[in-house]
Amino acid sequence: MSTLLSVQNLHKAFKVSANRPGAAKQLLKAVDGVSFELKVGETLGLVGESGCGKSTTGKLLLRLIEPDKGIIRFEGQPVTGIPKRELIALRRNMQMIFQDPYSSLNPRMRVGDIIGEPLVIHGLAKGQKVREQVLSLMAKVGLATEHFDRYPHEFSGGQRQRIGIARTLAVQPRLVVADEPVSALDLSIQAQIINLLKDLQEEFGLTYLFISHDLGVIEHVCDRVAVMYLGRIVELADAEQLYQQPRHPYTEALLNSVPVPDPQHVRQHQILSGEIPSPVDPPSGCHFHPRCPYVQEICRQEYPPLIDQAPGHQVACHFSGEVGRFRHYIT
């Protein structure tokens, strides 16, 4: 598979108010040296707890917010460092599905106009052709023709996410960044939307970056998974390998937090405990060390680099090479 998107050493920090009045603003490192590639047609999951920088990473890829540092390339062409005019043309290929179907749709626009707007903005259709293409998109995402003239408030959460997906697909993107696309939905609706996203991927050859805090959801969708902690990727591997043999203690703890739908199941492993530290003042050395059950002295002093531990399996942990050290995810 060829590379669609490459990301090298991406950084983004935000200035935030200090706790004390009159103190200088502090830097919150939301994304701190993230690198990865996306192959054509694959789904890469980006997972981690709230505040780990995964949504910021998604927005940086489309330059919805500007990176401080780093290089992003789409099919070898630079995304970073190009003028706005070129970026708008490039954005046709790179679209986003947002988490909250309630707030991502303009409540004063009719559904047909919401879905058709990108076609008009990018000059892809005019007049009757817009309506025809919108109706075709609506059918693909499971919306009926009579929904064309309705307003977002007349729909359920799942239907609103279908409207958002149809709008995303209108410009025929190659890459879709899906930012927690199902986390605001009921479980049964989540499954419908995930199946829809998979069907559309097959039909249109889409590549997904699928952002979620829920490894249970990611498992059903992704070919590979990148785990983020405090702005950095700590493990990246094929989904099957990561679920069967996590090599980072944080991944292991996240997997142990996934509910198992079996009343007989007895949890044998540790559950992730403690608060995620502040990215304004991250712990020294390995940022995970205050929560890690395997911590050693070196962990408090040196940050472990993200390196290959097996083919296609990268891990940032001083002790991940010890096979069998970390107990496996058992369902």
Q: Is 23 exposed, middle or buried (0-12, 13-18, 19+ CB in 10 A)?
A: exposed
Contact 240, 218 (CB under 8 A): no
In the complex with ligand SF4, which residue's Cβ is closer, 210 or 288? 288
Which residues would be at the binding site for ligand SF4 (CB under 6 A)?
Answer: 248-249, 286, 288-289, 292, 294-296, 299, 304, 317-319
Beta carbon nearer to ligand SF4, 142 or 290 = 290
Q: Are 254 and 227 in contact (CB under 8 A)?
A: yes
Separation of CA 327 from chain center? 26
For ligand SF4, give the closer residue by CB, 319 or 329.
319
What are the two backbone dihedrals, phi and then psi, of residue 227, each rounded to the nearest 5 degrees?
Answer: -100, 125
Residue 318's contacts (CB-CB under 8 Å, 6 or more residues apart) are 286, 296, 298, 299, 302, 304
Q: Which of 62, 77, 160 has the alpha carbon at shortest distance from 111?
A: 160
Q: How far apart are CA 211 and CA 226, in angstroms?
A: 10
Nearer to ligand SF4, 43 or 256 (CB): 256
Q: Which is nearer to ligand SF4, 167 or 289 (CB)?
A: 289
At 48 the three-state DSSP class reads: coil
DSSP alpha helices (H): ranges in 65-224?
84-91, 111-121, 127-140, 157-169, 187-204, 215-221
Shortest distance, position 275 Cβ to ligand SF4, whole Å: 16
Nearer to ligand SF4, 93 or 256 (CB): 256
Per this entry, what is the length of the chain? Answer: 331
Nearer to ligand SF4, 147 or 289 (CB): 289
What is the DSSP track for 171-182? T--SEEEEESTT
CB of 297 to ligand SF4, least distance (A): 10
